[in-house]
Amino acid sequence: MIQEASSFLHNASPSLLVRYIALCDIGAKMMLYKVILIGYTPKRGVKVAYYSIELCAGAGGQALGLEKAGFKHIELLEIDNNACNTLRFNRPDWKVVEGDIRNYSPKPAVELDLLAGGVPCPPFSVAGKKLGADDERDLFPEALRLVSELKPKAVMLENVRGLLDSIFDEYRTKIIQTLERLGYSADWRLLNASDYGVSQLRPRVVFIALRKEIAPYFFWPNPFEKNPPTVGELLYDLMKKKDWKGAAWWKKTACDIAPTIVGGSKKHGGPDLGPTRARKAWASLGVDGKGIANDSPEKDFEGMPRLTVEMVARIQGFPSDWVFTGSKTNKYRQIGNAFPPPVAQAAGIQIKKAFDMYSAFVEHKISERKFA
């Protein structure tokens, strides 16, 4: 059954797939939904563009991933001036709104398909005090307010792993209950960036909610079959840019993926790779984590090299042509706090496929009524 479905995934329209599924029994239907939603890229019979609004957009990691997944951004909201400048520099056509989410109430001219963002993580971070709802930086209530106002088809929010700690069980439950009252089905999932091509141990909590009629067509993205490159493989060309004699040795030493890149905050954290434990992990890869270098190692450099902003951005999954503006500290902070674009892309693709399949289902039902 699965092989039969896969053989026409790239040629069949969504409406044809829905008619095919309608002929199957319950067990076969569920198998086919999974096969189709994981491996299916529709070619016709679906909405041309899906529109999104990005909250707390930062330097654009999630926005870039969702763009690659096929979403068009109506607006991107960000409070940090440096991050806004980065967004404007890289995508002059994006409408970047610089301001506080507490004062934000957009009125899009088109139907909003996706409300996405990465609300501040310090309230739930292991490095913070874990105050959750008692932290003034907790902006989940504002995100929920915007869901109620904008009524998007889907919501996607990301945060740190600490949000899944038992201390926040009641908090997560309240969020889900609120969204259910608004007509959504919601779920949390811990996604590891290394499962989606990112050379970094970066677990992030991703929260996705879809309107209840669309939710049955959504499946979480499967991890990639191939492991991401090691830090040495990923950064070798940058490390040898100035003909560093030790580049080949370093490549062999940096034989694993990177630990989690820590961005810090305006109050704490500078251009280094994290606290003592993180620096020890970097040292095992042959990297000096006490600071960020201005450029690649010189030809006769000796010792452990430091990473450059460009190298950190590559580890985070940003494309090489994505430019960060501001001072070195500001650039590093933007990168370190970003959601890796490939992870956002993987999740965004699944949301878009759910939209496509639901649209095809509605189309099929309308056709049935016409010819009944």
The confidence score (pLDDT) of residue 1 equals: 43
What tokens appear for 332 in the block?
């590093």
In words, the CATH class of domain 50-225 is alpha beta
The confidence score (pLDDT) of residue 17 equals: 57
297: nearest Cα among 288, 306, 287: 306
DSSP 180: H
On the CB side of 177, how many CA atoms lie within 13 Å of its CA? 6
> pLDDT over 90 for what percent of the chain?
67
Strand segments (E) across 83-139: 96-98, 114-117
The confidence score (pLDDT) of residue 158 equals: 92
The confidence score (pLDDT) of residue 76 equals: 98
Q: How far apart are CA 332 and CA 293, in angstroms?
A: 11
Catalytic machinery residues: 121
| pLDDT > 80? residue 296 | yes
User: In sequence order, what are the residues at sequence separation of 6 or more whose Cβ sits closer than 8 angstroms to the Cβ of residue 38?
Assistant: 219, 221, 222, 350
Which of these ranges, 204-213, 246-255, 362-371, has the smallest mean pLDDT? Answer: 362-371
Residue in the block written with tokens 């649209």: 359
Q: How far apart are CA 144 and CA 280, in angstroms?
A: 39
Q: Are 62 and 243 in contact (CB under 8 A)?
A: no
The confidence score (pLDDT) of residue 134 equals: 44
Alpha-carbon distances of 225 from 2, 79, 258, 330, 360, rounded to whole Å: 19, 38, 19, 35, 29
The pTM assigned to this predicted structure is: 0.84
- Mean pLDDT for all residues in the chain: 85
Alpha-carbon distances of 236 from 239, 326, 332, rounded to whole Å: 5, 26, 20
Which of these ranges, 9-23, 82-96, 144-158, 337-351, has the smallest mean pLDDT? Answer: 9-23
The confidence score (pLDDT) of residue 155 equals: 97
| pLDDT > 50? residue 225 | yes
Q: List the domain boundaries for the chain.
A: 2-42, 50-225, 231-336
Which of these ranges, 27-36, 105-114, 291-300, 351-360, has the smallest mean pLDDT? Answer: 27-36
Q: What is the mean pLDDT of residues 198-212?
A: 95
Q: How far apart are CA 297 and CA 239, in angstroms?
A: 6
User: How far is CA 316 from its chain centroid?
Assistant: 11
Q: How far apart are CA 269 and CA 41, in angstroms?
A: 42
Q: How far apart are CA 225 and CA 68, in angstroms?
A: 20
The confidence score (pLDDT) of residue 133 equals: 43
For 140-174, how does the pLDDT look when each residue is reduced to its tens digit (9 = 90+)? 889 999 999 999 999 999 987 888 888 888 888 88
pLDDT category at 274 given cuts 50, 70, 90 is confident
The confidence score (pLDDT) of residue 169 equals: 86
| pLDDT > 50? residue 200 | yes
The confidence score (pLDDT) of residue 49 equals: 84
Q: What is the mean pLDDT of residues 227-236?
A: 98
What tokens appear for 14 in the block?
């969504």
The confidence score (pLDDT) of residue 163 equals: 82
Which of these ranges, 20-29, 71-80, 124-133, 355-364, has the smallest mean pLDDT? Answer: 124-133
| pLDDT > 90? residue 368 | no
Q: How far apart are CA 293 and CA 285, in angstroms?
A: 16
What tokens appear for 225 in the block?
């079959």
| pLDDT > 50? residue 10 | no
Helix (H) or strand (E) holding 156, with range, is strand 154-160
Compare 163 and 365 and report the one with higher pLDDT: 163
Q: How far apart are CA 355 and CA 82, in angstroms?
A: 34
| pLDDT > 70? residue 237 | yes
* Other CB atoms within 10 Å distance of the CB of residue 216: 15
| pLDDT > 80? residue 7 | no
pLDDT category at 267 given cuts 50, 70, 90 is low
The confidence score (pLDDT) of residue 361 equals: 79
The arrangement of strands across the sheet holding 114-117 comes to 96-98, 71-78, 50-55, 114-117, 154-160, 203-211, 184-192
User: In sequence order, what are the residues at sequence separation of 6 or more whose Cβ sits closer than 8 angstroms to the Cβ of residue 217?
Assistant: 33, 37, 353, 354, 355, 357, 358, 361
Q: How far apart are CA 271 and CA 183, in angstroms?
A: 43
What are the φ/ψ torsions at residue 317 (nearest 5 degrees)? 95, 10
pLDDT category at 122 given cuts 50, 70, 90 is very low
For 37-80, how does the pLDDT look when each residue is reduced to its tens digit (9 = 90+)? 444 444 444 556 899 999 999 999 999 999 999 999 999 999 99
Residue in the block written with tokens 């059954």: 1
Q: What is the CA radius of gyration of the chain?
A: 22
